Amino acid sequence: MSESGSLKPDQVSGEARLEYRWAAGGTTGEFLQALRDYRRILGAVCGGCGMVAVPPLSYCEICGGDTDELREVGPRGVVTSWARVIEAPQGSPVEAPFRYVLVLLEGADTALVHLAPDDDRVDVGVTVVPEFREGRSGAVTDIKWFVPEG
């Protein structure tokens, strides 16, 4: 664009939206299938150092080793950080206001980024549990959000 913000004669402005499909792969595929079919959250266990990562990866971000098994974690976890969203971004899976949370699930060594309702009880150190959607499709959003336990 020129300094005035207008387009040059050989430029066009617009938006392109593409619909596509991709293969989740073995590790991620099993994680998503467990969410959809069993309402279970899986973490990947590193064969080298034993770290449990959620969401699971096929390799360890700490030592570089291969993950050699998937293990159920949670469902309870502790909020380690959060941010309030007042205006939802386009395509948000829930209406604003809500909170983005980092949840350290029982049995995991890494925190999962997810959503929580805009509830003053959702704070650092609070124990939360997942609320699953009824119509699940094999996506991380099969967990609607994490809510305070009890």
What is the percent of the chain with per-residue pLDDT over 90, rounded to a whole number? 76
Within 8 A by CB and 6+ apart from 30, the residues are 42, 56, 70
Listed by start position, the domains of the chain span 26-148
pLDDT 10s digits, 30-42: 999 999 999 999 9
Residue among 108, 109, 104 nearest 128 (CA): 104
What is the percent of the chain with per-residue pLDDT over 70, rounded to a whole number? 97
Asked if the bond preceding 97 is cis, omega within 30° of 0, the reply is yes
Q: What is the mean pLDDT of the chain?
A: 92
Written as six digits, the tokens of 107 are: 């049995």
pLDDT 10s digits, 83-129: 999 999 888 989 999 999 999 999 999 999 999 999 999 999 999 99
Residue 78, pLDDT above cutoff 70? yes
Burial class (CB in 10 A: 0-12, 13-18, 19+), 71: middle
Q: What integer is the mean pLDDT of 126-137?
A: 96
